[in-house]
Amino acid sequence: MSNIVRLIIACGIMGAAIALCVFGFWGWGILVLFLGGFVLLSYFFNENMIIAQWFLRKEKSEKAEEWLLKVTDYEKQLNKKQWGYYNLLIGLIESRKAPLKSEKYFKKSLSLGMKMSHNTALAKLSLAGIAMAKRNKPEAKRYLEEAAKDDKNKLLADQIKMMKAQMGQMDKQVVRGGYRQF
């Protein structure tokens, strides 16, 4: 459903709620007002993305992907502020199937921008993991430092610490093997 249509429907429902309250039907007016609020909320937060996020938290990637694929053209169906989050969710789903192919989605989500710093930190942490898989230590280190800066609430502190420890182990293995690539 188009964003403009959502706004028109929300305004119509809100108008009906006000009319119900004016004519003395307070119970119905409040109920319809909540319904209009939910429709208005769907303008700011796409319901497909919310459901996909819920399935990702339940670790059901297939269902999350199914809901995200319902957004056929994100540039038309979503607000511009949601484009980065959409690419982040696609990247998270793709990283569970083919981690190296998810890099483009994380980079695109960062270029489109996201308001919440912990989501930016999550994208950078994922890019650091991809860089480590490609054995590109300088890039991985840069992304880890940026992720640590963006993680203001320390939601990803354990994962960042664990990845730094893995980078240290990677150095030890390379030195023990008698060659150093970095």
Whole-number Å distance between alpha carbons of 153 and 118 = 7
Other Cβ atoms within 10 Å of 18 Cβ, number: 14
Q: What is the pLDDT of residues 59-116, one digit of tens each?
A: 898 999 999 999 888 888 787 888 999 999 999 999 888 888 899 999 999 999 888 8
Other Cβ atoms within 10 Å of 147 Cβ, number: 24
Residue pair 79/49 in contact by the 8 Å Cβ criterion: no
Token pair of 30 as six digits: 């409040």
Token pair of 3 as six digits: 């964003």
Q: What is the pLDDT of residues 157-171, one digit of tens each?
A: 888 888 888 887 776
Whole-number Å distance between alpha carbons of 12 and 182 = 62
Q: Tell me the pLDDT of the chain averaged across its residues.
A: 87
Residue 172 pLDDT: 66
- Quote the pTM value: 0.76
Residue 135 pLDDT: 86
Amino acid of residue 11: C
Residue 173 pLDDT: 64
Give Cα 131 to chain centroid, integer Å: 20
Mean pLDDT of 124-129: 92
Mean pLDDT of 104-129: 91
